[in-house]
């Protein structure tokens, strides 16, 4: 059974790797046994044997999904029920030789498809520019010689050499190591580099604690080693996660579900209305089929919001542009508004809520405690204390000097960004010394290093011998607190060395560890003036304890504020991490999460699906989680009808990113696997950007609802006019061609202006919309019916009055222009769902609507007075007095709607 079967039992390897070796649990097996199983040796494979295995088992690379062909993306834009009906209407119109009608319908459909097609292509190209496509090289032993090859040519049985800075090219069973430490954050979520040792571990050891293994994609932080290639390609841990990602089916977004439901319901109403109207027209008035079909097309064109797909697409596209300005790249256009409906955000810890940069956060000396501000590797921050003055504390000065001298890490600044070169823990100590004011180069010059004892896993400390400026010698030591305490007999006080208070140091060590910090002890020892070397025998006694340093990957300050804003907006935040429970709880407390209960991945695995759903509802922090655990939590929340967002940057986040309603990947530190699985990529890796995206998503949804509430009443009025005319045998106040004109003009002007509207005043002070809530609520349905009824009555009244005094063409011109003016006044109210017209905020951002009104008035003047338009649409010029009359008759809708919104606000306030 493949070792990744526990993650996804339906997964099968690619055909070229079907015969790849199936090994026992490599981490718990002796290396010699694995060499035998793979018919290899420490001297590596021969070139011929490696070539044969490569041909048999395939290259060491992950399967990637082929891009969707352009023609498929184009055709996908037509997969919409409204579009289907419009296309049928266009075909019938063409068959009846109504070329104007057919042409206008086809134009609307093609414009909508083009916008969606171009926007999707733009998003995909932007993502490809972000993804890292470089191929890696690795050192391998072939024919007994070391050579550099492309990592895709690795096969099981190869022997790989590991050096600091190397990316592990495959899953390796280590058989030789020298102070090897590996950064596995992208796979396990652990902020700290893991110590590696060739000795086997127990079979049930969690992935994050398998010290005998080095996994594909992780980074060598320090030391060196050699490893036997156990698994390549899809059989690696990363490959298993990749297969899990491929097995997740993308679901519809809430907006897509709502639009589909809305389209289905509206279509049934339109078809039923059309069928009844045609039947009555045939039975009552004896109309011929050609006339009835033309009337049916008129009803369909009038009732269907053919401009709505284009408006929705443009609104989403504008949201994409606004989010790009806020450092959020959108991969899937429909995903833009999903964040607006999210009520749970499941976030990875490392690199998302934290900076993924180990930082010294506390320094404890015998008589003082110091807090350290600043995060990451930028030497910006201060040391502060209620009990001591940092600059005057000689013990603190000595501690920071030891932190800088007994250290092999270095930091550099490139384009304003600080980068670490070396081990993250050493980097944290290095930056601590710089924050205290020590010079990186001057300290090394004043205290030149004479000799070093590198950190060894068995000894658990590092020591370096330095020349004192006065001519004496001193040994600087850093290491595990319990180890150094066993070697110390004194501690450094204000007046110099004094007897060691071991209980004090042990208590302080426990306190720092309780806050989820990794604790490093700093010590020193005087050396003889003629001493030029240091060995472990010098460390066995006489050490002086100087300080303890608490180190952790701190929360981003902006993440703390962002989570508070999420809570005020009714959005729950969960932290799901591969880190240990103590660290997870400590970070959770700082972030403002409920840390009273922390659940581990092992506990989750023991729960039934129903119990897992209860846990997802009641626990905020999950630790030591596997990729499958993250996926289970997302699915458990979705089963409880939550709309779930998942953020992350590691390979281990990819399956959950893809399964969530909205997946958000980090663009800078995020892996390619996470970006490929996501819907959003945050180019600044800032959790706070998600809050802006939630606000933007809610605004986009509001604007789409506003567009629907604006378009439907007019469509209702138009359809009512045709239905009533057919049923009662009246003259049509507006012909189908004129209806198409009104729909096309208002869709590209008035309705489009709504897409540019700003956020409502309470956008982030209200809870997310309920799961399953339709686009049209009861109050909005009432508004649609009311406005549609008033609009139809207005058109009939003006048409009937004018038809008695003038020609049919002039009466229809009056009816069409009255309908457009009615929409203009209604737009001024529809710009906001609840805000009042006289509120100061209303007039902010009104310019797009004013420009749209000016444009539509120009178009209507052309429609009314241009001779060609008069001929095509069968209208006549209107006198100036008719325009004044239309304004007087249509403007009251604005006041009526403002009165209705005031009543709604008053009702909600009472509730």
Positions marked catalytic: 348
Q: How far, in Å, CA of 212 to CA of 218, rounded?
A: 14
Q: Any idea of the CA torsion for 270, 274, 277, 283, to the nearest 10 degrees?
A: -150
**Angle made by CA atoms 167, 169, 171, in degrees to the nearest 5:** 115
| Cβ(647)–Cβ(346) below 8 Å | yes
The encoded tokens of residue 221 equal: 């932080």
> Backbone phi, then psi, for 76, in 5-degree steps?
-65, -25
The single residue listed with the structure tokens 């096969």 is 155
Q: How far, in Å, CA of 301 to CA of 101, rounded?
A: 9
How many CB atoms within 10 Å of residue 808? 16
How many CB atoms within 10 Å of residue 48? 10
The encoded tokens of residue 819 equal: 């309908």
Q: Residue 650: name the closest of 631, 667, 671 by CA.
A: 671
| Cβ(187)–Cβ(651) below 8 Å | yes
Q: Residue 370: name the closest of 508, 185, 221 by CA.
A: 508
Task: Report the half-sphere exposure of 867 (CA within 13 A, side-chain side).
Answer: 0
Q: How far, in Å, CA of 389 to CA of 384, rounded?
A: 7
| Cβ(758)–Cβ(699) below 8 Å | yes
3-state DSSP percent of the chain in helix, strand and coil, to 5: 50, 15, 30
Question: Given its phi and psi angles, is residue 771 left (phi above 0), alpha (psi -120 to 50 degrees) or beta?
Answer: beta
Q: How far, in Å, CA of 731 to CA of 724, rounded?
A: 10
Q: How far, in Å, CA of 630 to CA of 626, rounded?
A: 7
The single residue listed with the structure tokens 């206008």 is 104
> Backbone phi, then psi, for 516, in 5-degree steps?
75, 20
Q: How far, in Å, CA of 601 to CA of 782, rounded?
A: 49
Q: Residue 662: name the closest of 201, 345, 236 by CA.
A: 345
Q: Cα–Cα distances in Å, from 226 out to 172, 198, 601?
A: 9, 9, 31
Q: How far, in Å, CA of 319 to CA of 328, rounded?
A: 10
Secondary structure (3-state) at 372: strand
Q: How far, in Å, CA of 733 to CA of 385, rounded?
A: 82
Q: Cα–Cα distances in Å, from 508 out to 485, 543, 550?
A: 12, 19, 10
DSSP string across 57-114: H--S----PPPPPHHHHHHHTT--HHHHHHHHHHHHHHHTT-HHHHHHHHHHHHHHHH
Burial (0-12, 13-18, 19+ Cβ within 10 Å), 51: middle
Number of H helices, E strands in the chain: 31, 27
Q: Are strands 137-142 and 680-682 parallel, antiparallel or unpaired?
A: unpaired
Q: How far, in Å, CA of 546 to CA of 488, rounded?
A: 10
| Cβ(591)–Cβ(575) below 8 Å | yes
Burial (0-12, 13-18, 19+ Cβ within 10 Å), 542: middle
311 sits in which H/E element:
helix 308-325
């Amino acid at each position: 059974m493949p070792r990744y079967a526990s993650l996804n039992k339906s997964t099968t390897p690619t055909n070229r790797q079907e015969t790849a070796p199936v090994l026992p649990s490599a981490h718990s097996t002796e290396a010699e046994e694995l060499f035998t199983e793979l018919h290899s040796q420490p001297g590596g494979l021969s070139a011929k044997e490696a070539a044969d295995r490569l041909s048999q088992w395939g290259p060491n690379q992950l399967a990637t999904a082929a891009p969707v062909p352009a023609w498929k993306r184009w055709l996908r834009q037509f997969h919409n029920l409204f579009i289907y009906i419009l296309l049928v209407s266009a075909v019938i119109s063409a068959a009846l030789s109504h070329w104007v009608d057919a042409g206008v319908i086809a134009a609307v459909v093609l414009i909508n498809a083009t916008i969606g097609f171009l926007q999707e292509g733009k998003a995909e190209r932007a993502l490809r520019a972000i993804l890292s496509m470089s191929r890696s090289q690795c050192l391998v032993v072939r024919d007994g010689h070391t050579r550099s090859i492309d990592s895709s040519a690795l096969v099981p049985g190869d022997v790989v050499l590991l050096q600091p800075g190397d990316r592990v090219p495959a899953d390796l069973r280590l058989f030789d190591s020298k102070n090897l430490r590996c950064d596995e954050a992208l796979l396990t979520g652990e902020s700290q580099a893991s110590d590696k040792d060739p000795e086997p571990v127990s079979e049930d050891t969690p992935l994050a604690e398998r010290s005998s293994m080095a996994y594909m994609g992780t980074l060598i932080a320090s030391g060196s080693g050699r490893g036997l290639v156990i698994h390549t390609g899809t059989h690696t841990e990363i490959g298993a996660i990749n297969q899990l990602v491929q097995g997740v089916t993308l679901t519809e977004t809430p907006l897509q579900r709502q639009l589909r439901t809305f389209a289905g319901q509206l279509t049934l109403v339109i078809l039923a209305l059309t069928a009844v109207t045609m039947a009555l027209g045939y039975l009552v008035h004896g109309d011929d089929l050609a006339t009835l079909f033309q009337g049916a097309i008129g009803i369909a064109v009038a009732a269907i919001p053919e401009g709505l797909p284009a408006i929705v697409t443009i609104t989403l596209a504008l949201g994409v542009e606004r989010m790009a300005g806020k450092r959020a790249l959108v991969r899937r256009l429909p995903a833009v508004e999903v964040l607006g409906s999210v009520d749970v955000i499941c976030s990875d810890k490392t690199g998302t809520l934290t900076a993924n940069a180990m930082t010294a956060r506390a320094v404890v000396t015998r008589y003082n405690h110091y807090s350290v501000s600043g995060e990451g590797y930028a030497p910006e921050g201060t040391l502060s204390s209620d009990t001591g003055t940092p600059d005057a504390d000689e013990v603190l000065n000595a501690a920071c000097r030891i932190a800088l001298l007994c250290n092999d890490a270095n930091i550099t600044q490139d384009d304003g960004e600080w980068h670490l070169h070396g081990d993250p823990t050493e980097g944290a100590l290095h930056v601590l010394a710089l924050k205290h004011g020590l010079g990186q180069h001057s300290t090394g010059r004043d205290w030149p290093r004479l000799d070093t004892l590198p950190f060894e896993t068995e000894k658990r400390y590092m020591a370096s011998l330095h020349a004192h400026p006065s001519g004496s010698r001193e040994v600087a030591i850093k290491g595990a607190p319990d180890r150094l305490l066993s070697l110390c007999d004194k501690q450094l006080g204000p007046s110099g060395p004094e007897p060691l208070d071991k209980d004090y140091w042990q208590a302080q060590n426990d306190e720092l560890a309780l806050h989820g910090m990794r604790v490093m002890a700093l010590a020193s020892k005087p050396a003889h003036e003629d001493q030029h070397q240091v060995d472990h025998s010098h460390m066995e006694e006489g050490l002086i304890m100087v300080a303890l340093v608490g180190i952790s990957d701190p929360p981003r300050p902006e993440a703390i504020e962002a989570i508070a804003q999420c809570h005020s907006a009714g959005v729950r935040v969960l932290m799901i991490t591969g880190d240990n429970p103590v660290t997870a709880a400590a970070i959770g407390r700082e972030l403002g999460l409920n840390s009273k209960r922390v659940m581990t991945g092992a506990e989750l695995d023991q729960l039934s699906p129903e119990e897992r759903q209860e846990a997802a509802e009641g626990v905020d922090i999950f630790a030591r989680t596997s990729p499958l655990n993250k996926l289970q939590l997302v699915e458990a929340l979705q089963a409880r009808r939550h709309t779930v967002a998942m953020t992350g940057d590691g390979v281990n986040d990819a399956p959950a990113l893809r399964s969530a309603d909205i997946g958000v990947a980090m663009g800078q530190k995020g892996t390619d696997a996470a970006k490929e699985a996501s819907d959003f990529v945050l180019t600044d890796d800032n959790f706070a950007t998600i809050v802006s995206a939630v606000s933007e998503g809610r605004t986009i949804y509001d604007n789409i609802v506003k567009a629907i509430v604006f378009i439907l009443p007019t469509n209702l009025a138009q359809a009512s006019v045709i239905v009533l005319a057919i049923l009662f045998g009246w003259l049509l106040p507006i012909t189908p061609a004129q209806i198409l004109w009104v729909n096309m003009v208002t869709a590209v002007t008035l309705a489009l202006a709504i897409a540019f509207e700003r956020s409502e005043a309470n956008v982030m002070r209200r809870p997310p919309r309920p799961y399953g809530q339709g686009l049209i609520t009861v109050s909005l349905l009432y508004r649609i019916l009311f406005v549609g009824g008033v609009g139809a009555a207005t058109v009939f009244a003006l048409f009937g009055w004018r038809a008695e005094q003038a020609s049919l063409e002039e009466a229809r011109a009056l009816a069409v222009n009255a309908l457009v003016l009615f929409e203009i006044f209604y737009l001024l109210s529809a710009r906001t769902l609840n805000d009042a017209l006289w509120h100061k905020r209303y007039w902010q951002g009104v310019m797009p609507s004013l420009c749209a009104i000016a444009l539509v008035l120009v178009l209507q003047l052309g429609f009314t007075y241009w001779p060609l338009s008069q001929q095509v649409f069968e209208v006549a010029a209107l006198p100036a007095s008719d325009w004044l009359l239309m304004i007087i008759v249509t403007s009251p809708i604005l006041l009526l709607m403002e009165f209705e919104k005031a009543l709604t606000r008053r009702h909600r306030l009472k509730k």
